[in-house]
Amino acid sequence: MKNILLIGSLLCLPASSVFAQDKLPEGEGKALVQKVCSSCHGLDTALEKKHTEPEWKTVVDSMAGRGAEATDAEFDLIVKYLAKNFARPGA
């Protein structure tokens, strides 16, 4: 749990997200990740981390609690996109 909280706090650090956005795989949810997640922080730090879908949900819920704006359905799509494309091996 501490790691998830640490990751959540790291996600709010400002960083250049242009490089990370170029590396995002195509797929449903990519545009939402670019729009919602990069409005507060860069994506490069966040996308270096690999998580299971429940872990990504915890991270996204944390970001929503910090002011990220999207509908519940959009947050669900973001979680699915991240879990599909940035999952921990074997997850």
What is the band of 70 on the pLDDT scale with cuts at 50, 70, 90? very high
Average confidence (pLDDT) over 18-39:
82
- Asked if pLDDT for residue 80 goes beyond 80, the answer is yes
CB atoms under 10 Å from CB of 75, counted, come to: 19
Give the single-character DSSP code of 31. Answer: H
Q: How far apart are CA 21 and CA 3, in angstroms?
A: 24
What is the band of 14 on the pLDDT scale with cuts at 50, 70, 90? very low
pTM score, whole prediction? 0.73
What is the predicted pLDDT for the residue at 10? 47
What is the predicted pLDDT for the residue at 19? 42
